[in-house]
A and B are shown apart, each in its own frame.
Chain A
Amino acid sequence: MNKRQRMFVRMVLASLLRRRSRMIIALLAIVVGATILSGLGMIYYDVPRQMSAQFRSYGANIIFVPKDGDDMTDEAIRKGIEVFPSDKLEGYTPYRYENMKFNNQPVTLAGTDFSSVLKTSPYWHISGELSDGNGGSLVGRKIAEKFGLSVGDSISLLNSFEITDDKDITGIPDYEIYTDPQTGEKYCDHSIDLKVSGILETGGSEEDYIYVTLADLGSLMLSDRSCDIVEVSVAAREDELKGYLDKINKSSYPLTAKPVKRVTASESTVLSKLEALVLIVTLVVLALTMICVATTMMAVIAERRREIGLRKALGALDSSIVLEFLSEGLVLGAVGGILGSVLGYLFANAVSMNVFSSAITFRPLLLPVTIIASVIVTGLACLIPIRSAVDVDPALVLKGE
């Protein structure tokens, strides 16, 4: 750096550091602008992720069903699930439905995995507790009311099936064989005793079922056939989901993946509207901020008209003055941009914690974007008053006119 360049840096730094009160006002305007830009930018980019996570509380958005009547094997389910990126997969839960009798009345039993059920159905409200799978069951509210069941009661479920040659009943602990007097067919009554761990309330059809573990259902039914449906919850946009579903459905896995249209479509609509809203707010605030920064910079430079006049009287060319004042503005813009990026993240995080109760994802790309935007806005805001200031007649301003 030669002496001239060193003097240039010395003048710019002196102006920034020794005119602290003025510079702090300008810097404050820039920091506020950069904070809002960075904060809203982060919110804008994070809203879909946050909202997707929120939407997951409304239940699964994808289901796997058997393809062409084939059984969905555990292997096929695992491969299907592996299509979704692990960071987007909230959870998946298999369900197997069987009809049987309780108190001589037909009931539907649903076998599931209690360890994952709340990930795909977080809206379930359970009085008591979720079964730990050790002989416990979750009874839908309507069934509980119908049979007068409450938490802690024991229920005896009865599976009655015709004895055929392919049905091995040896080894069944509790069974009773009887013959239908009219048809002469032999039947086996196999029962299992379970404890009511909790009563399930959803306001939906789930209240009509008794939920047990897949293992308990298998032992009651004397078969370990695969599940009827797998509910999958994935935090992704509609178009993204479509890509995953296409991949699964084009594979040879014996299952079909379908979107839960009602959920994915409404998610997409709400997200699009929300994104548009945040974008509009961001642009409006950005425009207002630009005006604010520009006005402040104009005021800061306007009060230096005499100094500009003096520099011209000392022989400064217009280009030299523009460069010096612009450099000050650009340094301020860069410093303001850096501070604004950090504060913007804190601001966005505070908003996210209050609205979504979760931390915002820091997006490193927004850091240079904010700094560059801040530098450009400040530069433009400086250029206008500098251009008019260099046109001043030094003879007039130095006379105080």
Chain B
Amino acid sequence: MKLLELKNVTKRYGSLYALDKVSLSIDKGEWIAIMGPSGSGKSTMMNIISCMDKPTEGQVIFDGRDITKDSRKKLTEFHRDKIGLVFQQFHLINYLNAVENVMVAQYYHSMPDEKEALEALERVGLKDRAKHLPSQLSGGEQQRVCIARALINSPELILADEPTGNLDEANENIVLDLFKQLHKEGTSLIVVTHDPEVGEVAQRVVRLEHGKIVSDKKNDHFGV
């Protein structure tokens, strides 16, 4: 069952094409890695999928609904309900502790619940660090808080932009293990990455170059 469909999506900045008639279909529960060199249009695609940007042309159909024509407010509401974001730079609020950072996502989504937020932190192995400020956490721990924040509202899709870009190998493995677990539980994942190792663990790898999809392959080794 399709979760997301991009139909001939073009994003133009003046005469520069960041995305050029890109079409892509993602099923529910699928784990996709979007790879490509800098300037290939990965981030633009991610911004359009996460409703933070709109295409110049084309359609984005999310869960059967064309969100291209939605107002900014509606897009925000839609994105809040459906998508969890994981960032390369973690983007935790530095004056809120780990559990409060998770609760912020609940606050904008529905009703903050500290117990649930603690459970989310427990899921990423950080319950004992719940009262620590981001400055008191390592990079890997911050990224795990970021993942806990992304999954707290049970989104249909987790969008991760270079989630392991700032992590060492040990923390990279922890994060990827978390993604595997989420995928097993049925969460759809789109991971934008430069890292071939991150790409290898995804179910499907989409490669972009100069704003166009140059390859779209299932990973033969997925789940092995």
Contact = CB atoms under 8 A, between A and B. Distances in A.
Given A7-B107, A315-B79, 14 more contacts: A3-B111, A7-B103, A8-B107, A11-B96, A11-B104, A312-B52, A314-B105, A314-B108, A314-B149, A315-B105, A316-B108, A317-B73, A395-B52, A400-B89
Interface of B: 43, 47, 50, 52-53, 73, 76-77, 79-81, 85, 87, 89, 91, 93, 95-96, 100, 103-109, 111-113, 133, 149
A394 B106 CA distance: 19
A310 interface: yes
29 contacts: A4-B107, A4-B112, A6-B112, A7-B106, A11-B104, A14-B95, A18-B95, A18-B96, A19-B95, A306-B91, A310-B91, A312-B76, A313-B85, A314-B85, A314-B105, A314-B108, A316-B108, A317-B76, A317-B77, A320-B108, A393-B52, A393-B53, A394-B52, A395-B47, A395-B50, A395-B52, A395-B53, A398-B87, A398-B89
| Smallest CB-CB A-B distances: 6 pairs | A315-B80, A18-B95, A7-B112, A315-B108, A395-B47, A395-B52
A359 B158 CA distance: 67
Interface of A: 2-4, 6-8, 10-11, 14-15, 18-19, 306-307, 310-317, 320, 393-395, 398-400
A7 B155 CA distance: 21
A315 B133 contact: no
Contacts of B149: 314
A314 B150 CA distance: 9
Main secondary structure of the interface of A (DSSP, over half): helix
Main secondary structure of the interface of B (DSSP, over half): helix
A3 B108 contact: no
Nearest to B89: A400
Contact of B111 (A4, A10, A310, A400): A4
A399 B43 contact: yes
Contacts of B81: 315
Contacts of A2: 111
A398 B109 CA distance: 20
Contacts, number: 72
B147 to A, nearest CB: 14
A310 B107 CA distance: 13
Contacts of A7: 103-104, 106-107, 112
A15 B76 CA distance: 24
A307 B47 CA distance: 17
A314 B112 CA distance: 13
A313 B76 CA distance: 8
Given A14-B100, A399-B43, A400-B89, A313 B111 contact: no
Contacts of B105: 314-315
Q: Which of A315, A393, A395, A398 has the most CB of B within 10 A?
A: A315
Contacts of B104: 7, 11, 311, 314
A400 B112 CA distance: 28
Contacts of A19: 95
A223 B87 CA distance: 105
Nearest to A313: B85
A305 B105 CA distance: 18
A314 B103 CA distance: 11
A52 B87 CA distance: 69
A317 B74 CA distance: 10
A322 to B, nearest CB: 14
A225 B27 CA distance: 117
Contacts of A6: 112
